[in-house]
Amino acid sequence: MNKKMTITTKILIAMGIGLVTGSLINAFASDISFVQTYLVNGLFHVIGAAFVNSLKMLVVPLVTFSLICGVCGIGDVAVLGRVGIKAFALYIFTTGLAITLALVVAIAIAPGEGFEQARTTDFIAKPAPPLTDVFINIVPSNPINAFAEGNMLQIIFFVILFAIAMLMTGDIGRKMAKTAENLNEVMMKVVTLVMDFAPIGVFFLMAKTFSVQGIGLILPMIGYFSVVVLCLLLHGFGTFSLLLIFLAKLNPLTFIKKMRPAHIFAFSTASSNATIPVTLQVVEKRLGVDNSTAAFTVPLGATINMDGTAIMQGVATVFIANVYGIDLGVSDYLTVVGMSILASIGTAGVPGVGLIMLAMVFNQVGLPVEGIGLILGVDRILDMIRTAINITGDATVTCIVARSENTIDDQIFQDPDAGVITDVELPHKA
């Protein structure tokens, strides 16, 4: 194999082969029990799931050390507050744009009108957490628990507080900050080690997903599916590009090209949270954003910013309303906008969570929750695409905040080779 091939290219090839393998199995071998037991639910499942675990394994330590370095790098509580407010406001703003775009396009195209209301699969809606709890739970009653559970908002809250205290303790804090920097450096290396296995992991993940899902599932739902994808693309290439040009003064084409590794991971894992290590690495090393901004905005975004999910919710609302012949008024649509923004803040970036929040949106505007059964079949594939959009939103906002704080290095951003991930040379004993 070509020595110069980057990891990203290898992963991309593995992803394509996995997709084709999975689709072929789905089409021709779905009732061969040997294939199902030993390949799909055996080999594919085990290696794919172990790979996702290895990514998740990096998230908590990486975010912790990186965030300590970030806060100490900013060094000023007032600036920290300013970065936080900017990021939060931009996250809400972009999610608002996303859901509005989705509603406008979906109402114009009207997917689901005349749809034969096919048998609905039973969908049991899991209760969504009440929003008051979401806010109360930002403050961890036990930080060790927060770390153990990987509760991102609680971890961010505690680590920021801890790092501020470090800043306040002078010399002791400075020494600890140096240690955190060293640990962060080592963690980044661990990320590269895990990335070395990514082509294999991604192949198995894709093969498993498409063996189970099959492309054919999309056909009866093609109307809904294509409107969601259209809106995701419009937002991904249109809205974000405009924001990058006007607010971050950056070339969106360079941005999209450099985001590729993060896109691939988001697509194959369908989890913004599991993608945090890759997003962080891309945003810092390839796009040139300083750790002092990225360490804070990227994990925050993975948790509270989900533009792609909001888009799916907007289109799904219009689709189900059309299928069931229910007229929604302006106030209903406004409720959908508000609920989707809140839902995006209140949920973690893990696979399939968007559907659970959709139940909450439906309840609020009086749509039948069992309608979700209709869109269940195509949701996994949409989840993969919308997760890629979710993390693109995190990176876009990070760049805008970095530009306004003067923490982006344009030279790194322009350099096509900056931060390219290549194979890691393992040390050998002399």
Nearest one of 321, 320, 329, 322 to 113, comparing CA atoms: 322
- With binding defined as CB under 6 A, does residue 126 bind ligand ASP? no
When binding is defined by CB under 6 A, the residue of 270, 278, 336, 345 that contacts ligand ASP is 270
Residues 333-362, mask of contacts with ligand ASP (x by CB under 6 A): ----------------xxxxxx--------
Concatenated DSSP letters for 412-430?
Answer: HHH-TTTT---PPPPP---
Report phi then psi at 289, rounded to 5: -80, 135
Tell me how far, at minimum, the Cβ of 394 lies from ligand ASP, in Å. Answer: 9
β-partners of residue 408 are 289
Scanning 6-14, 29-37, 265-273, 406-414 for contacts with ligand ASP by CB under 6 A, the matching segment is: 265-273
Q: How far is the CB of 372 from ligand ASP (least distance, A)?
A: 13
**Which residues 6+ apart lie within 8 Å of 181 measured at CB?**
69
Coil, helix or strand at residue 95: helix
Nearer to ligand ASP, 69 or 228 (CB): 228
- Name the segment binding ligand ASP (CB under 6 A); options: 92-100, 108-116, 269-277, 367-375: 269-277
Cβ distance to ligand ASP smaller for residue 39 or 350: 350
Say if residues 339 and 360 touch (Cβ distance below 8 Å).
Answer: yes
Reading the block at residue 201, the tokens are 């992991």
Q: Find the part of the chain contacting ligand ASP (CB under 6 A) among 91-99, 255-263, 331-339, 381-389.
A: 381-389
| Closest distance of CB 379 from ligand ASP, Å | 8
Of 260 and 380, which has the nearer Cβ to ligand ASP? 380
Q: Based on CB atoms, which residue is closest to ligand ASP, 198 or 353? A: 353
Nearest distance from C-beta of residue 302 to ligand ASP, angstroms: 7
Task: Please answer whether residues 211 and 40 qualify as being in contact, where contact means their C-beta atoms are separated by less than 8 angstroms.
Answer: yes
Residue 63 as a binder of ligand ASP (CB under 6 A): the answer is no
Provide the mask over 201-230, with x wherever binding to ligand ASP is found by CB under 6 A and - wherever it is not: ------------------------------
Q: Does 389 bind ligand ASP (CB under 6 A)?
A: no
Site size toward ligand ASP (CB under 6 A) is 15
Nearest CA to 394 among 219, 255, 218? 255
Query: Which residue, 239 or 390, is less far from ligand ASP as judged by CB?
Result: 390
Structure tokens at 14: 């593995």
Length, in residues, of the chain: 430
- Asked if 151 is part of the footprint of ligand ASP (rule: CB under 6 A), the reply reads no
Kindly tell me which residue out of 26, 297, 309, 398 binds ligand ASP, with binding defined by CB under 6 A. Answer: 309
Q: Provide the 10 A C-beta neighbour count for residue 162.
A: 15
Residue 204 token pair: 């198995």
Bridge partners, residue 289, by sequence? 408
Q: Which amino acid, one-letter code, is at 408?
A: I
Tell me if 396 contacts ligand ASP by CB under 6 A. no
Q: How far is the CB of 271 from ligand ASP (least distance, A)?
A: 4
User: Of the ranges 2-10, 114-122, 126-134, 380-388, which one interacts with ligand ASP (CB under 6 A)?
Assistant: 380-388
CA angle 197, 259, 268 (to 5 degrees): 45
Q: Which is nearer to ligand ASP, 151 or 184 (CB)?
A: 151
| Residue 111 contacts ligand ASP per CB under 6 A | no
Q: Which two tokens stand for residue 288?
A: 């040139």
DSSP string, 29-88: STT-HHIIIIIIIIIIHHHHHHHHHHHHHHHHHHHHHHHHHHHHHH--HHHHHHHHHHHH
Q: Is 183 exposed, middle or buried (0-12, 13-18, 19+ CB in 10 A)?
A: middle
Q: Is 290 in the site for ligand ASP (CB under 6 A)?
A: no
Least distance to ligand ASP, CB of residue 267, Å:
10
Residues in contact with ligand ASP by CB under 6 A are 270-272, 306, 309, 349-354, 383, 386-387, 390
